[in-house]
């Protein structure tokens, strides 16, 4: 479990194919690995990876074909900058929102507007994620917990303050940059819950219409 508050900028220094999977080495920058053990989780651009080897200023992890297909790892190369966050502790401050490290889809930067101290960015999400995006709701972009400030179809607007730009790879974004997206976990579970008994039926997916909301007492 993570919070979406980035602790360090890292870099992928090695990528070795292992069948359809990959073993990657990540230089961790200022991330303190003193309390990290083999088997611990580190979010890497929002993807929960398990450390299988640790060294001075780096860790090694295996990336499965499933992760490669569903995240930005499909086009990452050596030298790729990454956001890093260690798994949260029960005694940690909860500064962002609940982040599982399970990427829901890959979005694309549509536009970037430099407003001086801040950036305004529009991101195009996959169409199937549009229903999870709500104005003033939370979204995770490359592991960063952010607030959705506007929504237009499957596109959403973010406003980035100087600290976030300085401490994350967002500073390197350009129009067309691919980004990992994780929607608010509460929205995902709510959708499943609304299916009721139909959730147990094979092949069924959620179809939350206005009539379904009304039938379950969410609308008057």
Could you please report the per-residue DSSP string of the chain?
-B-S---EEEEEEEEEEETTEEEEEEE-TT---TT--TT-EEEETTEEEEEEEEETTEEEEEE-HHHHHHSGGGT--TT-EEEEEEPP-TTS---S--B-S---EEEEEEEEEE-SSSEEEEEEPPGGGGGG--TT-EEEETTEEEE--EEETTEEEEEE-HHHHHHSGGGG--TT-EEEEEE-HHHHHHHHHHTGGGGGSTT------HHHHHHTTS--
Identify whether residues 169 and 212 lie together within a single domain. no
Identify whether residues 56 and 34 lie together within a single domain. yes
Identify whether residues 178 and 192 lie together within a single domain. no
Identify whether residues 112 and 53 lie together within a single domain. no
Identify whether residues 81 and 120 lie together within a single domain. no
- Structural domain boundaries, residue 33: 8-86
- 93 located within any domain: no
- 22 located within any domain: yes
Identify whether residues 115 and 180 lie together within a single domain. yes
- 191 located within any domain: yes
Averaged pLDDT for residues 184-199: 78
Q: What is the percent of the chain with per-residue pLDDT over 70, rounded to a whole number? A: 90
Q: Which residue has the tokens 């959708």?
A: 191
Identify whether residues 132 and 115 lie together within a single domain. yes
What is the pTM (predicted TM-score) of this model? 0.87
Q: How far apart are CA 111 and CA 92, in angstroms?
A: 35
pLDDT at res. 197? 76
Identify whether residues 121 and 191 lie together within a single domain. no
Identify whether residues 153 and 132 lie together within a single domain. yes
pLDDT at res. 199? 73
Final residue before a domain boundary, out of 20, 54, 86: 86
pLDDT at res. 210? 46
Phi-psi region of 116 (alpha: psi -120 to 50; beta: other; left: phi over 0): left
Closest among 129, 128, 146, 124 to 137, alpha carbons compared: 146
pLDDT at res. 220? 53
- 95 located within any domain: no
pLDDT at res. 217? 56
Q: What is the pLDDT of residues 150-181, one digit of tens each?
A: 999 999 999 999 999 999 999 999 999 999 99
Q: What is the pLDDT of residues 110-164, one digit of tens each?
A: 999 999 889 999 999 999 999 999 999 999 999 999 999 999 999 999 999 999 9
pLDDT at res. 207? 57
Final residue before a domain boundary, out of 86, 115, 143: 86
Tell me which of 72-76, 186-190, 201-205 is least confident. 201-205
Number of domains the chain contains = 3
């Amino acid at each position: 479990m993570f919070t979406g508050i980035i602790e360090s900028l890292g870099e992928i220094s090695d990528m070795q194919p292992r069948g359809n999977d990959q073993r990657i080495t990540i230089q961790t920058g200022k991330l303190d690995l003193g309390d990290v053990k083999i088997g611990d989780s580190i979010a890497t651009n929002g993807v929960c990876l398990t450390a299988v080897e640790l060294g001075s200023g780096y860790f090694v992890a295996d990336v499965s074909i499933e992760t490669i297909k569903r995240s930005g790892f499909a086009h990452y190369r050596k030298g790729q900058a990454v956001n890093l966050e260690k798994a949260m502790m029960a005694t940690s401050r909860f500064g962002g929102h609940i982040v599982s490290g399970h990427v829901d889809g890959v979005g694309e930067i549509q536009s970037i507007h430099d407003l001086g101290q801040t950036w305004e960015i529009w991101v195009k999400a996959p169409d199937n994620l549009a229903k999870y995006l709500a104005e003033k709701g939370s979204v995770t972009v490359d592991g960063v917990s952010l607030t959705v400030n506007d929504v237009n179809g499957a596109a959403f607007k973010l406003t980035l303050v100087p600290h976030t730009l300085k401490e994350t790879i967002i500073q390197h974004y350009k129009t067309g940059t691919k980004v990992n997206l994780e929607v608010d976990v509460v929205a995902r579970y709510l959708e499943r819950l609304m299916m009721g008994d139909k959730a147990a039926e094979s092949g069924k997916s959620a179809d939350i219409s206005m009539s379904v909301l009304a039938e379950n007492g969410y609308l008057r």
